[in-house]
């Protein structure tokens, strides 16, 4: 019969992997602890406002990923974003690279993931915290529903490295290759990031839509309302840099917001009408080499995600696809 694959994580990597597995004739089921797909390609919505508080935009350098983005553009779930872009606080670190094509999901960052999830079986609100291997295959234990239905021939972990590592440690893996996966995931240091979503009654009178910031607590500020297809009140996103975020990751949201708003004010920003803070515990990772993905054919466990391939949306999508290819090739060898 067809091979059943459980994919843990409905971020862009897991969805890409599951989509290619389905295309090759396998039966993937995707699980995510959140209410919907997208992972760190995420948008917060409130009354009269919306704001992307994870990935800000994505680029497409690989020809296959460009073709995928073209498909998203055609489907209306993504568009090019050409912000008036600045580099503030010194010229170290970043340049604005105005020739680079930047894309965003439309009408919000989660839209491409929703498109990919449409053709897949997704079980949302399901936190997988243990894997168990029996004679009939893998079973998955969830926090919300106990053991989920079905046995799986393979399991794909498409989570940030620390979450993949802790799931692997909770699972019955008894060979050296599998413990190699644990070591790999444990070896990756992921860093936190504070995000502050701020709303204004009127358009903010700054002469740019986004800026890389090279001084103080902030790293990036962007007028979310300048992205195509957005509605609601004037909305900006402030990201703190990794070093500052890590130093303040356990702080009170009120204190963090006060410091970030002061830094925004120092750059010429007005005081907002309202704000919402979000703490990302695993925003990005130190580069983890160029493995792209990892697969242990003996146990049927694989890893994919941005942390294995450059830390961005494009790398995550390519990582998921590469793992799907490894799984399908592995079956050919066995079959
Ligand atoms: P994720 O999107 O993290 O997906 C993992 C999924 O696994 C999540 O949905 C999570 O809920 C789920 N999950 C985890 N554990 C479990 C469990 N036990 N059971 C069930 N589900 C589980 N990239 C860019 O290209 N450009 C940018 O400008 C950019 N800016 C960023 C800014 C911030 C603040 C952050 C946080 C990220 C940014 N990124 C950016 C990175 C980009 O968001 C990621 O590279 C990409 O979205 C990662 O996709 P992924 O599928 O690997 O992981």
Interval 17-30: pLDDT, tens: 999 999 999 999 99
Q: How far apart are CA 56 and CA 52, in angstroms?
A: 7
- Does residue 157 contact residue 9 with C-beta atoms inside 8 Å? yes
* Per-residue confidence band for 266, with pLDDT thresholds at 50, 70 and 90: very high
If one compares 89 and 323, the residue with the highest pLDDT of the two is 323
pLDDT tens figures, 182-198:
999 999 988 999 999 99
Instruction: Return the pLDDT at 177.
Output: 62
Name residue, tokens 């090759």: 24
Residue nearest to atom 46 of ligand 1 (CA): 313
Q: How far apart are CA 292 and CA 326, in angstroms?
A: 11
293 lines ligand 1 (CB under 6 A): no
Distance 307 CA to ligand 1 centre (A): 9
Contacts of 79 (CB under 8 A, 6+ apart): 73, 103, 104, 106, 228, 229
Where in the chain are all domains bearing CATH 3.90.660.10? 81-101+190-285
Where in the chain are all domains bearing CATH 3.50.50.60? 4-42+114-188+287-334
Instruction: Return the pLDDT at 180.
Output: 87
105 lines ligand 1 (CB under 6 A): no
* Per-residue confidence band for 151, with pLDDT thresholds at 50, 70 and 90: very high
* Per-residue confidence band for 97, with pLDDT thresholds at 50, 70 and 90: low
User: Is CATH 1.10.8.50 correct for 4-42+114-188+287-334?
Assistant: no
Instruction: Return the pLDDT at 333.
Output: 61
Q: What is the mean pLDDT of residues 209-234?
A: 96
Distance 308 CA to ligand 1 centre (A): 12
What's the CA dihedral at 167, 170, 176, 178 to 10 degrees?
A: -30
Q: Is 0.90 exceeded by the ipTM?
A: yes
Name residue, tokens 């053709």: 119
Q: What is the mean pLDDT of residues 305-319?
A: 96
Instruction: Return the pLDDT at 2.
Output: 86
Q: Tell me the H-state helices in the chain.
A: 12-23, 63-75, 111-118, 161-169, 176-186, 242-247, 253-266, 313-334
30 lines ligand 1 (CB under 6 A): no
Select the CATH number that applies to the domain covering 81-101+190-285 from these four: 3.10.620.30, 3.90.660.10, 3.40.50.300, 3.40.50.620.
Answer: 3.90.660.10
309 lines ligand 1 (CB under 6 A): no
What is the chain's alpha carbon radius of gyration, rounded to the nearest angstrom?
A: 20
Q: Which two tokens mark 151?
A: 């046995």
pLDDT tens figures, 223-238:
999 999 999 999 999 9
* Per-residue confidence band for 331, with pLDDT thresholds at 50, 70 and 90: confident
**Ramachandran angles phi, psi of 124, nearest 5°:** -85, 170
Instruction: Calculate what percentage of the chain has a pLDDT beyond 70.
Output: 94
Taking alpha carbons only, the member of 12, 85, 80, 79 closest to residue 42 is: 12
Which range is least confidently modeled, 109-123, 173-187, 190-204? 173-187
Q: What's the mean pLDDT when you consider all of the chain?
A: 93
CA angle (41, 46, 51) in 5-degree steps: 35
* Per-residue confidence band for 300, with pLDDT thresholds at 50, 70 and 90: very high
């Amino acid at each position: 019969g067809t091979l059943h694959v459980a994919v843990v994580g409905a971020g862009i990597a897991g969805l890409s992997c599951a989509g290619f597995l389905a295309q090759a004739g396998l039966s993937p089921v995707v699980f995510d602890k959140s209410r919907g797909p997208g992972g760190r390609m995420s948008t917060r919505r409130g009354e009269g406002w919306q704001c992307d508080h994870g990935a800000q935009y994505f680029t497409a350098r690989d020809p296959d990923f460009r073709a995928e983005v073209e498909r998203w553009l055609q489907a209306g779930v993504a568009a090019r974003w050409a912000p008036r872009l600045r580099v503030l606080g010194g010229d170290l670190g970043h340049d604005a690279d105005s020739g680079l094509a930047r894309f965003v999901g439309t009408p919000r960052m989660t839209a491409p993931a929703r498109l990919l999830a449409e053709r897949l079986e997704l079980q949302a609100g399901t936190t997988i915290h243990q894997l168990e291997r029996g004679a009939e295959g893998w079973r998955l234990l969830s926090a919300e529903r106990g053991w989920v239905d079905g046995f799986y021939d393979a399991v794909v972990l498409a989570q940030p490295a620390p979450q993949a590592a802790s799931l692997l440690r909770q699972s019955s893996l008894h060979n050296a290759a599998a413990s190699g996966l644990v070591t790999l995931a444990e070896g990756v240091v992921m860093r936190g990031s504070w995000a502050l979503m701020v709303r204004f009654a009127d358009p903010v009178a700054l002469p740019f839509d986004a800026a890389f910031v090279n001084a103080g607590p902030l790293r990036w500020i962007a007028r979310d309302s300048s992205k195509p297809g957005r509605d609601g009140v004037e909305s900006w996103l402030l990201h703190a840099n990794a070093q500052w975020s890590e130093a303040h990751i356990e702080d009170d949201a009120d204190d963090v917001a006060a410091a970030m708003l002061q830094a925004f004010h120092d750059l010429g920003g007005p005081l907002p009408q309202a704000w919402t803070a979000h703490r990302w515990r695993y925003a990005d990772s130190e580069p983890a080499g160029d493995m792209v993905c990892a697969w242990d054919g003996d146990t049927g466990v694989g890893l994919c995600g941005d942390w294995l391939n450059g830390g961005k949306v494009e790398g995550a999508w390519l990582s998921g696809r590469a793992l799907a290819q490894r799984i399908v090739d592995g079956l050919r060898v066995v079959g």
